[in-house]
Structure 1
Amino acid sequence: MHTGRMSSLPLYREVKEKLILALASGEWQPGAKIPVERDLAQRHAVGISTVRAAVSELEAAGILSRRQGKGTFVSEHASHGRLYRFFNLVNDDGTRETPLRDFVSLQRARATPVESEFLRLSRYGRTTDVYRLRITFSLQGNVTGVSDAVVPAGLFPRMSRSGVCDGSLTLYALYQSNYNVNVTSVSADLRAERAPADVAELLAVKNACPVLRIERKAYTYGDVPVELRISWVNTAHCSFHVDQGSTV
């Protein structure tokens, strides 16, 4: 973190950046309780109201979660409240369900130029490899989507099938619990596209059938990119649902 940048930020934002650095360094693990506001205020030589403003922004971002009467904790992707944070598919009747994942393949390979640039592989030294992971996910007993995820080998050392094959958890929950990589934000681009032949076979649709193609980029603390994922979704019995804003 550059001193010049820190000094130009409002005080509570400086504290927020320092808290993010502590989280990124692994000082507080997922599910861990962070120090109380009074201790954080002493640590950073600021007032409690300044700490409260910084923590509130991290809560709003879903990075921290407050539990009434217990304190503030580092959010976990495996918790019920976070399960659907980055999963936007709903059934035709509007209900949500936990998708069931099935492992298809995992391989280590040399990154393409596009992957290398987005994942900023230069930050991992001479390691320019990535892991390519393919999974399917099902809703209402039917294979609904196929996802191809690409992650830096330098960030996920010795990734193995056993580390990502638990179908009861999301990939982000497995990244967090098995590799200490916490996805904090994503961006997604959607469009209709004909499914590739191998994807169409997994989705049980005709080769020329248009499906929903989702290109999603995932980031951890400090907007560091950690995953590039392309998913193909058969929306015959589901839809992509987004809520924005808040009720007042």
Structure 2
Amino acid sequence: MTQETSGAELNGTDHRLPLHARVKDDLMRRIKANEWSSGVPLPSEAQLTAEYDISMGTMRKVLAELAADGIIERLQGKGTFVRRASFNQSLFRFFRQPTGGQTPESRIVDRQEQPASAVVAEKLRLEVGAPVLYLKRLRLRDGAAFQLEDIWLPLPDAQPIAEVELDQLGSLLYPEYEQRMGLVIGSASESLSICVATPEQGRQLGCAAAEPLVKINRIARTHSGEAAEYRESYGLASSFQYEVEIN
């Protein structure tokens, strides 16, 4: 089967590329467009093979590469899904938590549009001064704040988050991004450092100014590698813990 006999879906791809690369590029385009929402499987191998008018072997190669790239995941007996990074517990694993694994309560205490600082612009790959949406969020356990987050999102992409009533946002923001912005977070990088609490941070976290804090910087990215969110999270160093199993 030649590239000329492949399906019409490939009309917008680079004809200089091998057929399997063009199919992969088009599936990536559809994934970026959030064609398959959370919990919705991709069509079966047979359906995709027919849709693109290619051989089963070529489609299997495409899907294997997407799985190896961390873009999709295959669940036995359920199908193939766009992989959505799970960060439900990633930030909380560094701070002692009660047993039960429940998602802490969240409260956004500030939301405003602002020009990107040099640091935020670098993290989000924007021009300094570009418009961003800023969120300040508290994470609470039994009504007491244990973590403070400063979050920045590029505008106008984040306009739906800027306009929604705050009490309509759930405790986890990434599902909100997907539902309201069509934005799927595929990966993130984090770095840890130690700092001291400012008077304002001390007031919000219920600690003294200059008390040691653990700071966690995170850049969240789409499946195509574009920086979609930058956040700085702060928690009390006195509750910090680090545990890793090495085999």
Instruction: Give the alignment of 1:1-248 within 5 angstroms.
Output: 3=14, 7=17, 15-56=23-64, 58=66, 63-75=71-83, 82=86, 84=88, 86-89=90-93, 92=96, 95=99, 96-121=101-126, 128-139=130-141, 141-160=143-162, 162=164, 165-166=167-168, 168-237=170-239, 239=241
Secondary structure in 2 matching 1:19:
helix
Return structure 1 stretches of 4+ with deviation > 6 angstroms: none
Identity of aligned residues (%): 25
CA shift, 1:68, in A, is 4.2
Distance 1:94 1:115 in 2: 33
After TM superposition, the score normalised by the length of structure 1 is 0.76
Determine which structure has more spread, i.e. the larger CA radius of gyration: 2
Q: Deviations over 1:98-127 (max 9, x none)?
A: 1211111100112223333432346xxxx9
How many aligned positions are there? 234
Secondary structure in 1 matching 2:238:
coil
Does 15-24 or 146-155 show the bigger shift?
Answer: 15-24
CA shift, 1:61, in A, is 6.4
Distance 1:242 1:162 in 2: 39
Secondary structure in 1 matching 2:139:
strand
Is the 2:196–2:211 Cα contact (8 Å) retained in structure 1?
yes
Structure 1 gap ranges (5+)? none
CA shift, 1:27, in A, is 2.7
After TM superposition, the score normalised by the length of structure 2 is 0.76
Name the aligned partner's letter for residue 116 of structure 1: A
Structure 2 gap ranges (5+)? 1-11
Is the 2:160–2:180 Cα contact (8 Å) retained in structure 1?
no
Secondary structure in 2 matching 1:229:
strand
Distance 1:50 1:140 in 2: 53
| Distance change (3 Å), C-alpha of 1:92 and 1:57 | farther
CA shift, 1:86, in A, is 4.3
RMSD over aligned Cα atoms: 3.4
Distance 1:2 1:198 in 2: 52
